A and B are shown apart, each in its own frame.
Chain A
Amino acid sequence: MSLIEVRSPGLLTTVQDLGREGFGPMGISPSGAADPVALRIGNRLVGNSESAAGLEMTLLGGTFVFPERAEIALTGADFRATLDNERVDLWCSAEVRPGQTLRLEATHAGARCYLGVRGGIVVKLFLGSASTHLLSGLGGFEGRALRKGDVLKIGTAGGGFRTFRKRKVTVKALEKLAPRKTLRVTAGPQGDWFSRAAQEVFYKTTYRVREESNRMGLRLEGAPISAASGGEMISEGVSLGAVQIPASGLPIILFVEQQTTGGYPKIANVISADLSSLGQLRPRDEIRFELVDIATARALLVERENLLASRELILG
């Protein structure tokens, strides 16, 4: 089995796949890649199933040594990667020769870069998924972010090595999949609990992502939203991308390591097609919300999925 040696982990690097769905009744949220589209495409580039596990790096990448030959792909944000000091292009497959060092730097744009590797990263699965859930210390590599000296195993799924041919995501597809700063939302379960004026503030304000944001939630600053007045809020299930308005009036977008239930009213919910964009938001990034109806939200998701499944996605 091939290995990856972690020489430097970067700021926050975790093993992630597409998460573990279905355990809401136990209070367990799915976790998984913050930008699942980037992870899926990385897997496609190296010939893995889309749900194989890769590494998610946050803001600052790591340094990794490959003792043996490997096929990799970097997707998501540009962390200025080099392989033995030679530039590695984003959104392409690349061949790693035995003993080479992959080094990533700080982000150039976006928040998260994914390292996909042919065969996938192999860890003990927790509830069927390799995803790290940092808050609870479950899943992934020992339930935690990577540290210097960790050694990761590369799997043999997909039949191990193949003759290398460079595969590349098309410019057209990348344009269509580019992370958005105007997030499209549908009305939240308590959307109508907020006054017309409060809703206007919400949809007209440019919000800034606060430093305290993490995989549990994105905390925003900007114009506060006046309290909801629709009744007594009883804790209920909350969805990925839900925009909660706590007492401070400053929105919180629930993210991949979200709590499964919550007691704050939700003014809106980020649409499925734009959830990947959340994974690329950095502290201090400015965002806005745009209201769409459910039919539009669904059409945008179907369009995105069709693109991901189409021949237009990858060349080579």
Chain B
Amino acid sequence: MAAPRLQSQITTESHEQVRRLLQLLQSEPIAGVRNLHPAYCSVLIKFDATLLRHEELQETLLGCVERMKKVALPEPRLIEIPVCYGGDFGPDLKDVAELHGLTPESAIKLHTSTTYRVYFLGFAPGFAYLGELPAALVAPRLATPRRSVRAGSVGIAGSQTGVYPIATPGGWRLLGRTPVAMFRPDRAEMSLLAIGDRVRFVAISREQFAKLENA
């Protein structure tokens, strides 16, 4: 395990560095490296210690950090995610709005008015950490996480937002739900989102939700 910290701050610059390093390590794999876990401002590199020594890998990685400046990143994709806000889909929408003295409608407007960046995928298959949430929506995690959050639930935590791809326990405050599958093992691109993508949420009605869910 080696985790070269690129910059201990969540900035778009550190994010781009993470993407460059990830792209370099994926396009030119290092023998013995088994897995990569990108995050906000670090990449955890898992390797087989019988094939590689820490010092060797560290040296190779220092070379990568030098070379990654030249890695060109592709134009980000923009992906729209339809969300039905409030009601039992978004049980925390009212609380979040109240916390900031907003109406639920203006909270929805804020959530849908921002283009988010996929900082990385982590936690569970297809779970994308999206940021930055407008300051007027920032809210802490629930004091007690829910035992189960339905797949497709759209939540916020701190200045992050994201969609639960599968039913899991979770402590994010839920604003709504999307009928779109975030992760499907039978799809060529299993995960709807990838690191570096841009995301916009689009408010839809209950009827539209039902239609899309059955599509």
Contacts and interface: CB of A to CB of B under 8 A. Distances in A.
Interface of A: 21-28, 30, 126, 133, 135-138, 189, 231, 234-240, 259-262, 269, 272, 294, 297-298, 301-302, 305
A235 B37 CA distance: 11
Contacts of A22: 34-36
A136 B121 contact: no
6 contacts: A26-B191, A136-B183, A137-B166, A259-B124, A261-B123, A302-B50
A15 to B, nearest CB: 16
Interface in B159-205: 166, 168, 183, 185, 190-191, 194-195
A236 B44 contact: yes
B110 interface: no
B35 A269 contact: no
A220 to B, nearest CB: 19
Nearest to B45: A237
Given A25-B121, A27-B127, A126-B185, A236 B3 contact: yes
A259 B166 CA distance: 13
A63 B172 CA distance: 42
Contact of B122 (A21, A30, A260): A260
A58 B35 CA distance: 27
Interface in B32-63: 34-44, 46, 49-50, 53-54
A171 to B, nearest CB: 25
B123 A259 contact: yes
A135 B166 contact: yes
B13 to A, nearest CB: 14
A231 B49 contact: no
Contacts of A189: 3
B36 A24 contact: yes
Contacts of B53: 298
A24 B191 contact: no
A57 to B, nearest CB: 25
Contact of A135 (B38, B44, B168): B168
Given A234-B41, A259-B123, A301-B49, 15 more contacts: A21-B34, A21-B35, A21-B46, A24-B44, A25-B38, A27-B125, A126-B185, A231-B8, A234-B39, A234-B42, A236-B3, A260-B37, A261-B39, A262-B123, A301-B50
A208 B20 CA distance: 43
A292 B112 CA distance: 50
Given A231-B8, A260-B123, A238 B37 contact: yes
B5 to A, nearest CB: 8
A237 B166 contact: no
A235 B49 contact: no
A136 B166 contact: yes
B30 interface: no
A234 B195 CA distance: 17
A22 B36 CA distance: 7
A302 B37 CA distance: 25
A294 B49 CA distance: 10
B40 A236 contact: yes
Nearest to A297: B49
Contacts of A238: 37, 44
Interface string B1-27: 101000011100000000000100010
Contacts of B10: 234
A103 B194 CA distance: 46
